[in-house]
């Protein structure tokens, strides 16, 4: 007796950086009159790259979209946006008409009172950070920034694949999330069950040593659904990262994990 009414497609998942097929999903949603929301918090900024925006094909058919410029675009926290296709809808559902805030007899145009148009009512002027960055970099600047990050991710992936002891969790990453294991020499020849059991402890130990040295921090986590032990999750989103930085991370992991 339950009826679906809402579908959420993801453009760049948090862990693997995977992309849902938005175009195909939108076809189904339109056929069955379902609300399609696209969570583009991580991947939304790729719209600014003509070379890669095809990953978001179909997003224009969504009824709502979330997008976080503080992620891929590099804005300072907090800077997030929620777009709704139907004009006035957010105003209708959020409007409180608090008469201690939004008096109608003010000496100026009351449409400037934006509190009822925002989910939070009172908030920082978050859009100003994005506006300043956009004015500084422009569309071409952001295009170069995003394309360069994609190039860095490809470089890091190639280095991981070419370096002894490393194994990819996802052979061909879809985005800037590169997930991998470092397998110390001591467990490279053991049977699979023992290898997976011991591999669970490797990434946490290496990260702990990284933090003690004060050199770098790379996130790790397991995937219990797919029975994958702890793996490193390298996300390349800093526009200042250089190939030498990525080389250092690989060397540091090898140095700290080789004898484990």
Tell me: the pLDDT tens digits for 32-41?
999 999 999 9
Q: What is the largest CA-CA distance in the chain?
A: 79
Q: Quick one: pLDDT at residue 26?
A: 98
> How far is it, in rounded angstroms, from Cα 169 to Cα 154?
15
Q: Quick one: pLDDT at residue 16?
A: 96
- Chain-wide mean pLDDT for the chain? 92
Q: Quick one: pLDDT at residue 126?
A: 83
Tell me how many helices (H) and strands (E) the chain has: 6, 8
> How far is it, in rounded angstroms, from Cα 9 to Cα 18?
11
Q: How far is CA 127 from CA 87, 130, 135, in A?
A: 19, 5, 12
- Mean pLDDT within 3-28: 97
> How far is it, in rounded angstroms, from Cα 90 to Cα 256?
51
> How far is it, in rounded angstroms, from Cα 222 to Cα 227?
8
Strand pairing class (6-10; 35-39): parallel
> How far is it, in rounded angstroms, from Cα 153 to Cα 163?
15
Q: How confident is residue 94, by pLDDT bands cut at 50, 70 and 90?
A: confident
3-state secondary structure of 42: coil
What pTM value is reported for the model?
Answer: 0.89
Q: How confident is residue 106, by pLDDT bands cut at 50, 70 and 90?
A: confident
Pair 59, 49: CB distance under 8 Å = no
- Mean pLDDT within 36-64: 97
The residue written with tokens 């500084």 in the block is: 136
Q: How far is CA 162 from CA 159, 165, 168, 215, 250, in A?
A: 5, 9, 11, 23, 11
Domains in the chain (CATH in brackets) are 6-132 (3.40.640.10), 139-257 (3.90.1150.170)
Pair 58, 30: CB distance under 8 Å = no
* Proportion of the chain in helix, strand, coil states, percent, rounded to 5: 40, 15, 40
């Amino acid at each position: 007796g339950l009826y679906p009414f809402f579908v959420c497609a993801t453009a760049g998942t948090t862990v693997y950086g995977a992309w849902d097929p938005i175009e195909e999903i939108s076809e189904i949603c339109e056929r069955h009159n379902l609300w399609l929301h696209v969570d583009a918090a991580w991947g939304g900024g790729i719209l600014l790259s003509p070379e890669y925006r095809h990953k978001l094909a179909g997003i224009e058919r969504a009824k709502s979209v979330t997008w976080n410029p503080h992620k891929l675009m590099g804005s300072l926290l907090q800077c997030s946006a929620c777009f709704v296709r139907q004009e006035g809808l957010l105003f209708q559902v959020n409007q409180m008409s608090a008469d201690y805030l939004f008096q109608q007899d003010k000496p100026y145009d009351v449409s400037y009172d934006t509190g009822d148009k925002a989910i939070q009512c009172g908030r920082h002027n978050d859009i100003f950070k994005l506006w300043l960055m956009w004015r500084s970099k422009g569309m071409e600047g952001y295009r170069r920034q995003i394309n360069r990050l994609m190039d860095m991710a490809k470089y890091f992936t190639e280095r991981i694949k070419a370096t002894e002891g490393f194994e990819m969790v996802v052979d061909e990453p879809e985005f800037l999330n590169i997930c991998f294991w470092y397998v110390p020499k001591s467990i490279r020849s053991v049977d699979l069950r023992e290898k997976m059991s011991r591999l669970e402890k490797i990434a946490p130990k290496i990260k702990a040593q990284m933090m003690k040295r004060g050199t770098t921090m790379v996130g790790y986590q397991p995937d219990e659904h797919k029975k994958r032990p702890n793996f490193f999750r390298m996300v390349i989103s800093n526009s200042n990262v250089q190939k030498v930085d990525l080389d250092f991370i690989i060397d540091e992991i090898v140095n700290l994990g080789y004898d484990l």
